[in-house]
Structure 1
Amino acid sequence: MITSQSSLRRSERSRRATLDAALELCTEKGYGRVTVEAIAARAGVSKKTIYRWWSSKGAVLLEAFVDAFVGATPFVDTGDIALDLRTHINSAVKLTSTPPYGPAYAGILSEMHYDDALAEAVQEQLVGPRFAAAEARLAKAQEQGQVPAGADLPLAVEMLYGPVYYRHVLRKPPQDEATVATLVDHVLRSLGAAPDGPRGALPGTVPRPASGDLS
């Protein structure tokens, strides 16, 4: 039993060292210059160990990114759907636009167009679960009376994430908090969310810039 527990601890240390090494190298050299050999050398593990757990460097970096993304972008429920969506999107923008996770995310998005296995893994490990979590939070808002019962929640999720993805792919400056607030406001209004408050503002909305640039 003691040997088994020790082995598990060593495996987790090796896994974490591999993920950290991949992120460091991606930030230092760029995704395209990272190799499994370099990851193994930096992590102090063998290539055989890496290939036993992952199929490619893309798979390594995807796991590192998903680990961080899920932890940094929870769907909390404060009872204010606008506030909660802003918190989530702002956290997602920050994580995907700054090292060490920004360079990894950019590389994964590029590589998945040429690697079908990686594209499938992105859908299974990142996109699918995050979309489901976003829909679940919006569904809870429906139960709370903040979003109409007939609202198209899957479309709303695409509308929320679409501008974030668009800016990242085209390497435009990431959204600031005011632009994210405008985005959330527009999406909720498109769902027919009932205005609230003396000035007809949605719950948790903040004044938005006159330009209202969502792109």
Structure 2
Amino acid sequence: MSHDEAPARRGRGRRPAAEVRASVLRAAAGLLLNSGIRAVTFDRVATAAGSSKMTLYKWWPSAGALAAEAFFAHSAQQLEFPDTGDIRADLTSQLRAFVRLLNRDGTGAVIAGLIGNAQTDPELSAAFSKHYSAPRRALALAAFEKARERGQLRDDIDLGILVDQLWGACYNRLLIPDAPLDEAYAVALVNNALDGAGPNPARRPGSRG
């Protein structure tokens, strides 16, 4: 083969930063889901991702912060909020998906571990809020705002409290497992919340007030 015919060879330059970051997040998520939050150390993640610890220190203030972002990257697509125009159907679908995630392959234990460690790790706490809980809350609030504009929720309902009622109840059963956390519970939560939050029904004949 002549010099002109020789195939082009890719240089040994650095991988693009986005590619490295994605690889690190995948490696961290794998360790987190398989072995728990204590397994997510910069040493182990760097080895699994084929990266350097210095790169990880540059991008994340702590291993806990990395674990929180990795979990969000892993779960974001599974927790997308549908928008069919029917808030009861959309909310039921989303909350059931959330419950399925919590019950899948130890994921609930991972979230419980992140929440527990966040109580004493401010960097993990900030990352959990930024990359996981705050974006999820914003999606729910946006969906509720649209529902209110369509007349499916009362004008005076506190949408933030409605979020707390629904997802907070799931977290409560996750962290305090005195009762089952299953899809039937998710459906009941939606029905209980919306039957109280929907437009006021016409007053029955003979009712007071």
Whether the TM-score (by the shorter chain) exceeds 0.5 is yes
- TM-score computed with the length of structure 1 as normaliser: 0.78
Shift of 1:125: 2.6
Contact 2:27/2:45, CA 8 A, preserved across alignment? yes
Shift of 1:107: 2.3
Aligned-CA RMSD value? 2.3
Shift of 1:135: 1.5
Structure 1 113/132 Cα, relative in aligned 2: closer, same or farther at 3 Å? same
Unaligned residue ranges in structure 2 (runs of 5+)? 1-12, 202-209
CA distance in 2, matches of 1:60, 1:174: 30
1:132 and 2:144 correspond = no
Q: Specify the structure having the higher radius of gyration (Cα).
A: 2
Match of 2:153 in 1: 147
What per-residue deviation string (whole Å, max 9, x for no partner) do you get for residues 3-47 of structure 1?
xxx85x532222122112112222333222432111111111111
Query: Any residues of structure 2 matched to 1:41-120 within 5 Å, and which?
Result: 41-99=47-105, 101-120=107-126
Identity score, percent: 35
- TM-score computed with the length of structure 2 as normaliser: 0.80
Structure 1 102/20 Cα, relative in aligned 2: closer, same or farther at 3 Å? farther
Structure 1 71/113 Cα, relative in aligned 2: closer, same or farther at 3 Å? same
Structure 1 173/16 Cα, relative in aligned 2: closer, same or farther at 3 Å? farther
CA distance in 2, matches of 1:48, 1:34: 16
- Most deviating of 178-187 and 101-110: 101-110
Shift of 1:146: 1.3
What per-residue deviation string (whole Å, max 9, x for no partner) do you get for residues 179-210 of structure 1?
21110000112214456xxxxxxxxxxxxxxx
